[in-house]
């Protein structure tokens, strides 16, 4: 998609022509933040887009529930929290938000807990991020009438690309990737 003069947007990447950076070499996920590294010849720099630790815990909990979807039972928050690496109280707050979005179900009683509200192939990483964070990429400039139209258009394209990229990743795909990794480990 054509954007600003000398720039175009493809998926979640913004490409600049001329002496600017061309393309994205890799995406680095570390400590709950997403950094995009791009390079032009040997000159590299990063432009971080940070996600909260809350979104990381939400994604980890959803992946763990997706791994256990075949057993048909609900899983206790304490059990999930130990695997995810946070406190049960904090994870319950996150699970409540995921429940409000229809991504998980809660089951009451002695054998109660949480399980997926949909099949893993129906749940995208984007849906999880929006359930706990709201809009994945947001900037006040999108609503600011003083912001130049060209820049607002560029920000809108970045938001659309980010949402498209996050929505393209399903938990079914993550399960497949985990299975392949485990098979390779045991070979």
Q: Per residue, what are the HEC states of 98-143?
A: HHHCCCEEEECCCCCEEEECCCHHHCEHHHHHHHHHCCCCCCHHHC
CA 51/CA 72 separation, integer angstroms: 31
Q: Above 70 in pLDDT, residue 69? A: yes
Average pLDDT over residues 47-57: 81
H or E stretch including 62?
A: helix 53-67
pLDDT score at 38: 38
Q: Above 80 in pLDDT, residue 165? A: yes
Tens digit of pLDDT for each residue in 124-144? 999 999 999 988 888 888 899
Backbone angles phi, psi at 143, to 5 degrees: -105, -5
Q: Above 80 in pLDDT, residue 20? A: no
Q: Above 50 in pLDDT, residue 32? A: no
Q: Residue 101 burial (CB < 10 Å; 0-12/13-18/19+)?
A: middle
**Cα–Cα–Cα angle for 166, 174, 92, rounded to 5 degrees:** 80
CB-based contacts of 36: which residues, under 8 Å, 6+ apart? 13, 24, 27, 28, 46, 47, 48, 49
Q: Above 70 in pLDDT, residue 19? A: no
Quote the pTM value: 0.69
CB-based contacts of 186: which residues, under 8 Å, 6+ apart? none
Could you give the percent of the chain with pLDDT greater than 70? 70
Q: Which of 56-65, 66-75, 93-102 has the lowest mean pLDDT?
A: 66-75
- What does pLDDT average to over the chain? 77
The structural domains of the chain, ordered by start, are 1-50 (no CATH), 53-187 (1.10.10.10)
* pLDDT: which is higher, 187 or 91: 91
Please provide the distance, in angstroms rounded to a whole number, between the alpha carbons at the two ends of the chain: 43
């Amino acid at each position: 998609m054509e954007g600003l003069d000398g720039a175009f947007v493809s998926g979640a990447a913004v490409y600049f022509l001329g002496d600017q950076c061309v393309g994205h070499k890799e995406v680095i996920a570390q400590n709950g933040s997403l950094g995009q590294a791009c390079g032009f010849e040997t000159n590299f720099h990063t432009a971080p887009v940070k996600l909260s630790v809350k979104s990381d815990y939400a994604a980890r909990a959803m992946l763990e529930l997706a791994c256990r979807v075949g057993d048909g039972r609900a899983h206790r928050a304490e059990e999930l929290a130990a695997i995810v690496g946070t406190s049960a109280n904090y994870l319950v707050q996150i699970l409540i938000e995921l429940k409000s979005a229809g991504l998980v179900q809660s089951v009451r009683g002695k054998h109660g807990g949480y399980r997926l509200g949909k099949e893993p192939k129906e749940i995208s990483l984007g849906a999880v991020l929006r359930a706990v964070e709201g809009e994945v990429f947001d900037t006040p400039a999108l609503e600011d009438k003083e912001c130049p139209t060209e820049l607002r258009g560029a920000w809108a394209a970045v938001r659309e690309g980010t949402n498209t990229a996050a929505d393209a990743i399903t938990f079914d795909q993550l399960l497949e990737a985990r299975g392949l990794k485990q098979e390779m480990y045991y070979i």
